[in-house]
Structure formats: C-alpha cells, structure tokens
A = this chain, B = another copy of it.
C-alpha cells in the first residue's frame, strides 16, 4: 500500500508533472480535478467505480456532484497533506475516465 507520509516538495512536483489534469489546492493540501459527463447517470456511474476502488484502497476522495459534474479533491488527513495514496488514487481515477 502506498505510504501515508506527506510528499516532499520534490516528490510532489514529480508526481504532479505526471498528472496534468489535476491542480494543486491549498486547503486542504491536496489535488483537485473536475469531471463532466453526459448526464447524471454517467456521472454517478463514474462515482460508483471510484467508490469501489477507493474502498478497496482504504483511501477515499472528498467529492461533490451537481448533475453531470463531479469535483474531486484528494488529500491524506493522516499525513497532513498530499501523499502517495492520493497520487495512486488520482492515477486510478484517470484510468477510469481514460
């Protein structure tokens, strides 16, 4: 399982460079991406896939949904910021929508 420590600045920059669709956010310290789908059923189907993966990884998104739009923030509370678990979940989410 990916480590729970907060990423170093170097590791963070390296990871973010490989996740061009995600933006850094400050509060909570993490990364953020918004997804748009054709309608609510597509948005919720996506959320369901993310939910199953998140539960298996025991690492969960902070997210919101308004009709066809899903906004996800990934942060690791126990690490006080962005950790490898967030990066792993971001990659997995990108894989779902790829």
Interface residues of A in 52-82 (CB under 8 A from B): 54-55, 60-67
Cα A44 to Cα B64 with chains together (Å): 12
* A37 neighbours in B (Cβ, 8 Å): none
Tally of chain A residues near chain B (CB < 8 A) = 16
* A55 neighbours in B (Cβ, 8 Å): 40-41, 44
Cα A54 to Cα B65 with chains together (Å): 13
Q: A62 touches which one: B41, B47, B64 (CB < 8 A)?
A: B64
* A60 neighbours in B (Cβ, 8 Å): 40, 66-67
Q: Would A65 and B63 count as touching, CB distance under 8 A?
A: yes
* A41 neighbours in B (Cβ, 8 Å): 55
Residue A96 CB within 8 A of the other chain: no
Q: Would A44 and B51 count as touching, CB distance under 8 A?
A: yes
Q: Would A62 and B66 count as touching, CB distance under 8 A?
A: yes
Binding site for B on A (CB under 8 A): 40-41, 44, 47-48, 51, 54-55, 60-67
